[in-house]
Amino acid sequence: MPCAALCNLGCSKNQVDGSQMLEHLHLAGYTLTEDLAQADVILVNTCAFIQEAKMEAIDKILEVATYKKTGRCTTLAVCGCFSQRFRETVQHEFPEVDIWAGVHDWSQQFSKHLKTKAKPQFVRVLSEPLATQYLKISEGCSHRCTFCAIPGIRGNFKSRSEADIITEALWLESKGVRECILVSQDTSYYGTDRNSTLTRLLEKLLKNTSFPWIRIMYLHPSRVDDELLCLVAQEPRLCPYFDIPFQHAADPILRAMHRKPLAKGNRALIERIRTIVPNSALRTTFIVGFPHETEAMFGDLVHFVEDMRFEKMGVFPFSPEEDTPAFSMRPRPHNATAARRCEELMAVQREISKSIGKSRVGITVDVIVDEMVAMVPPFCQGRTRWDAPEIDGSVFIKKGMAKVGSIVPVTITSADEYDLYGTLVQ
C-alpha cells in the first residue's frame, strides 16, 4: 500500500485545501503518514502571498526533495499558491518536482499523474485539535488592493452555496467539532454573487447546527454592517470576535492601497462595533513601509492604534509583489525604516495588550481546551472566545484538568502581554 504525506504552509484556507488533498489520496487507496521518510508521495502545499512565503516554499521544496534520495519518495508534488503563481516560470529550476498543481486543478493533476479517481466534495483529513476546525465558505477575492497578489492567484470571489456549506458543517459536527471557524479571503463579501449575505448564512448555520462556538475570520471593513453586528450581539454561539485588517490609518496610504473606508470611516466602524457588541475583541493587521509612507503618516497610524486599543494586532513590512500595482510605486521607505516602524508599533501594542490582559484578571470566562501540556505537573492550554487559534494568545490553566475539546469555565488569576493564566472552576 503506497503512503502519502503532506507539508502544509500558509494560511487557514491552505490548511483546508491541504486536508482535502490528503483525503483525495486516502480515498484512492493511499495510507497517510506524518513520517516523510516513509512516504511514497509527498505533497508540499505552498503559500505565495508575500516574499517571505515564497522563500519558505522554495526552502521546503528543496528540503523535501532530499527524501527522494534518503527516503521512499518517488513522487514530489508542489501544490497551492506558489505553484499556481510561478509554475510556468520556475518548474525548470526544480527537476526534483514531479507534479505542479495549482489551487484549482490539483485533483485533475493528481488524477493525471497518480491515476486517482476519488474526488471528495468536502470531506477531508481533520487536524488536531479535532474540536476546532476551519470551514471555507468561498474562494478568491474581487477586491483590488494594490499590494495584494491573491486575486491573481485565486481569481475573483466565488461563494460556495449555502447548501454545500451547511452539509460540510453538519459533517464537521458529526466528527466532534465544537468550534467552527469560517474562513475566506473576505468572509464579509459572502453571498454577493448568490443573492445572499454572511448574516443569512450565519442564521442558517445557527439553525441547522449546534456548534457551541462559531468564529468569523477575515472581514473587510467596508462590508461590516449593523445587521451582522446585531446578530453577533444577540447570539451567544457567535464569538464576539472581529478580525478586520485595516492595513493603515493615514488617508493618503489607504487611497494608494485602494482601501475603503478611510480613517474616519474606520474609526466610526470600530465605535459601532464596541457600541453594539460591547464585550467584543477586535483583531487587525497593518502594513508599514508602504510606498510614499512618511514619518507623519506613520505617526497617524501610531495615534490610531493608541486611540483604538485593539485587543489583537499584527504588523508587517510592505512586501513588493510582482504583478501588483504597488510593485512599481515609488519612493519606498528603506527596509530598515519599515522594520523599525514594525518594532515601534508593536511596542505600542504590547503595552495595550498588557493592560487589556490585566483587566481580565478576576473574571471567569469560558475556555476551549486545545491541548494538554506535558510538563511536570501537566496543565491544560486553551483559548477564550476572544482568541483565534495559532495567531492569538492562550489561556494556561494552572489548576484543574479538563478534556481536550471541552469548553470549561476558568477564573483568570494573572496575565502577561498576550496570554492569560487561570484556575478551572470546579
pLDDT tens for 178-207 read 999 999 999 999 999 999 999 999 999 999
Do 193 and 159 contact (CB within 8 A), yes or no? yes
pLDDT value for 36: 96
Model confidence pLDDT, tens digit, residues 327-365: 999 999 999 999 999 999 999 999 999 999 999 999 999
Residues of the chain where predicted confidence (pLDDT) is lower than 70: 118-121
What CATH topology corresponds to 361-424?
Answer: OB fold (Dihydrolipoamide Acetyltransferase, E2P) (2.40.50)
Report the CATH superfamily, name and number, of domain 132-358: tm_1862 like domain (3.80.30.20)
Question: How confident is the model at residue 219, as a pLDDT?
Answer: 98
Query: Which residue matches cell numbers 454545500?
Result: 164
CB atoms within 10 A of CB 349: 23
DSSP for 203-246, please give it: HHHHHH---SEEEE----GGG--HHHHHHHHH-TTB--EEE---
Sheet holding 312-317, edge to edge: 241-243, 281-288, 312-317
Q: What angle do CA 238, 242, 246 make, to 5 degrees?
A: 165
Q: Are 216 and 182 in contact (CB under 8 A)?
A: yes
For residue 93, what pLDDT is reported? 94
Highest CATH level, class, for 3-114: alpha beta
Nearest alpha-carbon partner for 103 in 172, 149, 68, 169: 149
pTM listed for this prediction: 0.94
For 314, counting Cβ atoms within 10 Å of its Cβ (0-12 exposed, 13-18 middle, 19+ buried), the class is: middle
Do 261 and 222 touch, CB atoms closer than 8 A? yes
Two domains, one topology: 132-358 and 361-424: no
Q: What pLDDT is attached to residue 120? A: 64
d(CA 294, CA 380): 46
The domain ranges of the chain are 3-114, 132-358, 361-424
pLDDT computed for residue 50 by the predictor:
86
> What is the identity of the amino acid at 337?
T
359 CB-near residues (< 8 Å, 6+ apart): none
